């Protein structure tokens, strides 16, 4: 048979399918025929626009072969056998199992570490929120200061909070009772939030009372809570909590001035033969100490104590003004028409503060110089101011009488 040579030219933009169809058309085969192209060495050539030209130096030999399904099947069998050999050689199934187990372990570790990260982030978030709350409360505190007219030479809220925390740590309460520092901060903020913004009885007053109690504990060398029979925080079981709550209520009620005479008389009966092992004696001492701290502003330097007097009188006058408007009886010491700063303080210092502190002095002589003596000096200063006020009033009366006589 004669050899027919056909020249086939195709564009470089043709697809492999187009080229295969072109070969099928040239050889007279149907378009769905599977075609493989081999070079002169028997190697398979990829049918696509990048295939080299068929030339004398690069001859495709026999050229085209069709219906190579038997060879393809054989080729697939060979590939399968090779894959099985590789699988046995490299133990792919065992490796797959090992990799799967390791992945499971890693996923578990990632999950556990993720939980730790979540807890850490939650803690960071709580601290951030707490700082934001402190900042917001600081701003609101300063705003309240601007609205009030009396002078207040008292610390700002963040400083007070920091000082209160120091007191709890310094007294050993945080360590001894295993108090969470973050919980302590929140508790102090909660106390602050529940105080009304009164001119006098506000959170700043709470701080001053706490600060004075802290000072008296150190000055008088009290460690009441460290005594086993008085350590009501020893065990935080329901019964201990009940005692803590009852003790707190007792001390709060002790600050009611309506019970002042009763509590002071009870302490006077015990002070000469005071017994620190007697629970009733210790409870009475606690009540007197909280009373001293509650009304201790005049113990402080004049530049600190006097602004508090302004605040207290403002609160009294606000109450009496409202009582007058509603037709209610008004206490004389709250009436702005009858009270002056010297008259208000002289009686309070002479008949309330000094007698109470002098009674405590019998048990703790070390308070005389730092507490009792400042009270006496404050009394003397207000008495001098009263004399000046009286002289000014007499002068005004005299002038008014003179002016009245001239008019006649």
Residue with tokens 């040579």: 5
- The dihedral through the CA atoms of 213, 357, 224, 258 has a sign that is negative
Please name every residue paired with 37 in a beta bridge, in sequence order, or none if there are none: 45, 64
Which candidate, 56, 75, 44, places its Cα nearest to that of 5? 56
- DSSP element (H, E) containing 64: strand 64-66
Exactly one of 169, 192, 201, 260 is catalytic; name it: 201
Question: What is the structure's pLDDT at 147?
Answer: 43
CB 177 within 8 A of CB 200: no
pLDDT in tens, 372-392: 999 999 999 999 999 998 888
Long-range contacts of 162-168 (CB under 8 A, 24+ apart): 163/207, 163/211, 164/188, 164/207, 164/210, 167/210, 167/211, 167/214
Question: What is the structure's pLDDT at 73?
Answer: 58
Which residues of the chain have a pLDDT value below 70?
Answer: 1-8, 10-13, 27, 31-33, 56-96, 98-99, 102-104, 106-124, 126-127, 129-158, 224-236, 403-408
CB 344 within 8 A of CB 360: no
Domains in the chain: boundaries = 16-72
Residue with tokens 């890693």: 106
pTM, whole model, 2 decimals? Answer: 0.54
Question: What is the structure's pLDDT at 2?
Answer: 45
Question: What is the structure's pLDDT at 390?
Answer: 85
Question: What is the structure's pLDDT at 197?
Answer: 83
Question: What is the structure's pLDDT at 233?
Answer: 46
- Is-catalytic flag, 201? yes
Q: How far apart are CA 213 and CA 367, in angstroms?
A: 13
Question: What is the structure's pLDDT at 299?
Answer: 93
Q: How far apart are CA 254 and CA 290, in angstroms?
A: 7
Question: What is the structure's pLDDT at 157?
Answer: 44
CB 62 within 8 A of CB 5: no
C-alpha distances in Å from residue 205, one per residue of 159, 191, 195, 202:
14, 12, 10, 5
pLDDT in tens, 288-316: 999 999 999 999 999 999 999 998 999 99
């Amino acid at each position: 048979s004669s050899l027919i040579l056909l020249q086939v030219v195709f564009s470089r933009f043709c697809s492999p399918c187009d080229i295969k169809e072109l070969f099928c058309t040239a050889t007279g085969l149907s378009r769905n025929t599977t075609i493989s192209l081999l070079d002169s060495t028997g190697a398979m050539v990829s049918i696509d626009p990048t295939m080299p030209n068929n030339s004398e130096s690069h001859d495709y030999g026999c050229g085209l072969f069709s219906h190579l399904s038997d060879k393809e099947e054989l080729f697939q069998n060979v590939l399968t056998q090779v894959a099985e050999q590789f699988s046995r050689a490299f133990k792919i199934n065992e490796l797959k199992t090992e990799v799967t187990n390791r992945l499971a372990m890693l996923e578990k570790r990632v999950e556990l570490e993720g939980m730790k990260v979540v807890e850490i982030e939650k803690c960071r978030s709580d601290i951030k929120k707490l700082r934001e709350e402190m900042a917001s409360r600081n701003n609101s505190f300063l705003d309240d200061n601007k609205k009030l007219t009396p002078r207040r030479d008292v610390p700002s809220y963040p400083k007070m909070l920091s000082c209160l925390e120091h007191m709890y740590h310094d007294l050993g309460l945080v360590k001894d009772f295993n108090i969470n520092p973050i919980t302590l901060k929140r508790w102090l903020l909660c106390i602050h939030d529940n105080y009304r913004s009164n001119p006098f009885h506000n959170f700043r007053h709470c701080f001053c009372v706490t600060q004075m109690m802290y000072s008296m504990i150190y000055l008088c060398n009290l460690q009441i809570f460290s005594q086993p029979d008085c350590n009501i925080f020893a065990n935080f079981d329901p019964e201990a909590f009940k005692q803590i709550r009852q003790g707190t209520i007792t001390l709060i009620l002790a600050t009611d001035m309506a019970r002042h005479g009763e509590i002071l008389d009870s302490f006077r009966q015990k002070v000469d033969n005071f017994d620190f092992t007697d629970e009733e004696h210790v409870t009475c001492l606690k009540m007197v100490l909280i009373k001293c701290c509650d009304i201790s502003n005049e113990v402080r330097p004049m530049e600190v104590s006097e602004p508090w007097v302004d605040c207290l009188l403002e609160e009294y006058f606000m109450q009496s003004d409202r009582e007058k408007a509603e037709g209610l009886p008004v206490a004389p010491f709250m009436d702005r028409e009858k009270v002056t700063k010297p008259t208000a303080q002289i009686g309070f210092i002479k008949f309330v503060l000094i007698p109470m502190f002098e009674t405590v002095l019998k048990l703790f002589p070390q308070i005389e110089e730092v507490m009792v003596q400042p009270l006496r000096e404050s009394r003397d200063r207000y008495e001098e101011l009263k004399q000046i006020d009286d002289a000014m009033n007499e002068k005004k009366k005299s002038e008014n009488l003179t002016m009245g006589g001239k008019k006649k």
